[in-house]
Amino acid sequence: MFSEVLQSTAQNLRYLTKSMPKPGFIFKPLHESHVQASIICSKKLGTHVRVRSGGHDYEGLSYVSEIEKPFIVLDLSKLRKVNINIKDNSAWVQASATVGIVGHITGGAYGSMMRKYGLGADNVLDTKIVDANGKILDRKGMGEDMFWAIGGGAGGSFRIILEWKIKLVPVPNTVTVFTVTKTLQQDPGNKILSKWQMVADKLVDELFIRVIFNVAANNGSKTATTSYNTVFLGNKGVLMKVMNKSFPELGLMPKDCTEMSWLESIVYISGFASRTPTKVLLQGKSAFPKNNFKAKSDFVKKPIPESGLKGIFKKLLKEDNPMMIWNPYGGMMAKIPESQIPFPHRKGVIFKIQYVTNWPDSDRRASRHIKWIRDLYSFMTPYVSANPRQAYVNYRDLDLGQNKKGCKSTINQAQVWGASYFKDNFKRLVKVKTKVDPNNFFRHEQSIPPMLVQN
C-alpha cells in the first residue's frame, strides 16, 4: 500500500528507483484541519515535510528529498473540491483538482489562453493557506507580500496552499483547433519555422500556435518533425482569414481545422486521442505514459537564425526520444509588468522553449540521455536570453544549482537559480521568506532561502 500511494501521482519515474530516498510516512489529509495537524506535529518532532498535489515537479522534489532526512510526504490528492460562483465569475479550487492546480499556479500556470488572459497566477483573487505555525490564513490574513509571493514564486518555500480563488474568464461557444505537421523535407530551409518565429507573438491574442518538435521514422531512417499545435478562440472561418493574412506559409486548409467547445479543446491540447470524452479531465490522467525524463527550459527574445535551426535538428536526430516545445508569448503576456507577480518573463519574450528527453525503465542509459539534453542546452546558449539566462520554474532544473545538504545556502548561492527563474523578483521573494518563515521550515533543493538560515 505504501509503495502504491507513493507511486500514484509521481510523474517522473527517475525518482522512484530503489536507490532514491523514501519518506518515512505519507499523510493524505481529507480536511484542511488534517494539514494543520501534520505541520504542527512535524514541527514539534523536527521532521522535514515535502508537499505533493499533482506530483508534477520535474525533479521529484514534492516526493523525494536527497538533502533532508528523515522526511515525510504530505499528499494533498484527496483535496479536489471545486466551488463555482457564477454571480461573480470566480471559483474556489482545492489543491489537487485535475493535474494539481496548486503546483501549477505557484509556478505561473501557462495555458492555451495565456496570450488572451495571461497566466493562471495572473488571475488569482484569493487563497487559503497553512503557514509554518499551522495557522489557516486567507489573503487578508497573510498580507499582500505573502499573497504576491505564492502566486508564481514556486512551491515549497512559504506555506502549504489549500485552495485558490480564481477569476473565471469568458470563452466563445466555439473554438477551433488544428495540428499541421511538417517534416524536414516538407520545410526546406526552415522557411515555415522561421516565419512562425516572426509572427507567433504578434498574432491576434485569441490565437495560440505552439510548435512541438519530435523525431519520426522516414523510409527506414529518421527525420525531425515540427507540429503546429493550435487553439483559436473563435470559429473556423475567422481563423482561416487570420492565417491566410498572417501565416500563409503554413498552408492551412479548412479541412485541417476542427470546431469544438473550449472544454473539448483542453482534451485536445493535452494530447488525448480524438473524441476522448471530456470526463477524462476529472480523472487526473495524462495522455502520455509515465517515463523517466529530464527537462530544461529557455526563453527566446530574437529569432533563431537558419544556422541555429539546422544545429537543433542535427542534435534532435542523435537522441532516441527527444522533444522540444516552443510556446508563443506576446499578447497579454507582454502587457503585464514583470513585477506584478514573481513570474517575470513578459515583454520582449517571443517564445519559451521546453527541452525534454525521456526513456523507459528498460533503458539503463540514463546518463547518456541526460548528457544529450545538457549538450543541446549548451548549444542553445547564443540563441536564448542571457544575464541571466532565464528558465521557467515549473520546468524545475537542478542543473541550475541547488541548496546544500541541510538547506544551508547563502543568498548569493541561491541567486544563481533564483535570478534565472525570477529575475529581480528573487530579491523580494527573499525578503518575504525572511518575514514569514525565518526558520526555513518550508525548504527543498531549490527553495527560496531566508536572509539568515537557522537550521
Q: And the C-alpha cell for 301?
A: 527574445
Determine how many CB atoms are found less than 10 A away from the CB of residue 307: 10
User: Could you identify the residue written with the cell 466551488?
Assistant: 83
Q: Is 181 helix (H, G, I), strand (E, B) or coil?
A: strand
Task: Report the C-alpha gap between 331 and 126 in whole angstroms.
Answer: 25
Instruction: Give the closest residue to 226 by CA, choosing from 258, 263, 200.
Output: 200
Task: Report the C-alpha gap between 416 and 60 in whole angstroms.
Answer: 20
List, in order, residues 6 or more apart from 284 with CB less than 8 Å away. Answer: 9, 54, 96, 98, 99
Nearest-5° Cα angle at 110, 250 to 139: 160
Give the dihedral of Cα atoms 277, 280, 285, 286; nearest 10 deg: 40
Instruction: Give the closest residue to 317 by CA, choosing from 212, 225, 222, 226.
Output: 222
Instruction: Give the closest residue to 27 by CA, choosing from 15, 18, 35, 17.
Output: 35
**Is 377 a known active-site residue?**
no
From 63, 117, 329, 395, the catalytic residue: 395
List, in order, residues 6 or more apart from 443 with CB less than 8 Å away. Answer: 48, 68, 156, 157, 403, 407, 449
Task: Report the C-alpha gap between 41 and 19 in whole angstroms.
Answer: 28
Q: Helix 425-436 and helix 411-422: axis angle, to 10°?
A: 120
Residue 327 CA: distances (Å) to CA of 166, 187, 439? 23, 20, 38
Which 8-state DSSP code applies to residue 447? P
Task: Report the C-alpha gap between 50 and 58 in whole angstroms.
Answer: 14
Q: Which residues are catalytic?
A: 395
